[in-house]
Amino acid sequence: MSSLLAAISYDPIVRIELGPLSVSPHGIGIAVGFLVGARFMLPRSRRRGVPDDQIYPLFTLAAIGAIVGSRVAYVLNHFSEYESLADALKVWEGGISLIGGMFGAILFAIPKIRRSGLSFWKVMDSAAPGMALGVVVGRIGDLVIADHLGRTTDFFLGYKCPPLGVETGSPCAPTEFASRTPGAVVHQTALYDMVFAALLLATLLWFERRRSEGAFDGFFIFVFGAGYGIARIIEDFLREDLRRFGLTGSQWVAIATLTVCLYHLVIRRRTPRWGRWDAPTLDEERVEEAREPEETT
């Protein structure tokens, strides 16, 4: 029994051969996670007064942005590994960033949100629980292929690297950044990320039941950003990856995101002015706020 609890051990399924096609469970997990998260968003956007016909186009733009953003972020953080632009464009050889995909999805959707006269914060609040659920589902693909393996450990949820000849998503062999070897037990950070995301999803759903009426627009996406930022800061200390000034690129982005989100949750505690494109009287509100000191005196 002690040996069974010492580590998790299985042979990954890195590719599924379907005739002439070779499909990765990693890609399937990402696609299914995106679709499930998008479906989870719809009832929440309806409750905030955003019709489905305005949400569906955002899904397409977000999907494109996620693909572009995930690759661009990875390449920018590992640019020294690529000899040319052509090498950087070889997405099929692997190398994507989940955080980059999230920001890419949001950036690609912003112009359409603005043209449609929607509140950026209502849209993002609707998306926040679905984003957490999407991470939970998407990480299943990482576990199937044994990706994002980290430092060696004696933690009972660690992953035991298979023998030579068994392919894994993250190589179980010494590399420039990793010292993993066959038979070594290493942190399975994708599993930790899935657990963190599940806890974050439960937190968001709890807030929906307790604070849905009193929460300001932007509250839920700030909770997601702060929660997932904390998770990635912790997890990346267990990874073996390129580091700049002692931290990974994801950690630096997570720290910046966490700072912004905590500022709005703890200090501002109200909807930011930017992104309120559903408020045609926003300029009038500013005039009224400017008059308030005069009326007080």
Provide mean pLDDT across the span 271-290.
Answer: 68
Model pLDDT, residue 240: 83
Q: What pLDDT score does 196 carry?
A: 97
User: What pLDDT was estimated at residue 282?
Assistant: 46
CB-based contacts of 71, cutoff 8 Å, min separation 6: 88, 91, 95, 96, 97, 100
Q: How far is 15 from 101, CA to CA, in rounded Å?
A: 22
What integer pLDDT is reported at residue 40 of this predicted model?
Answer: 96
Domains of the chain, residue spans? 8-283
Q: Determine the average pLDDT of the residues in 94-98.
A: 79
- Quickly count: other Cβ atoms within 10 Å of residue 203's Cβ: 16
Instruction: Identify the band that residue 16 occupies on the pLDDT scale cut at 50, 70 and 90.
Output: confident
Residue 83 binned pLDDT confidence (cut-offs 50, 70, 90): low
SS3 175: coil
65-86 residues labelled b (16+ CB within 10 A) or e (exposed): bbbbbbbbbbbebbeeeeeeee
pLDDT tens-digit map of 200-245: 999 999 999 886 555 799 999 999 999 999 999 999 999 888 888 8
Whether 292 has a pLDDT exceeding 70, the answer reads: no
Contact 110/121 with Cβ under 8 angstroms?
no
Check pLDDT > 50 for residue 297.
no
71, two tokens: 């690759």
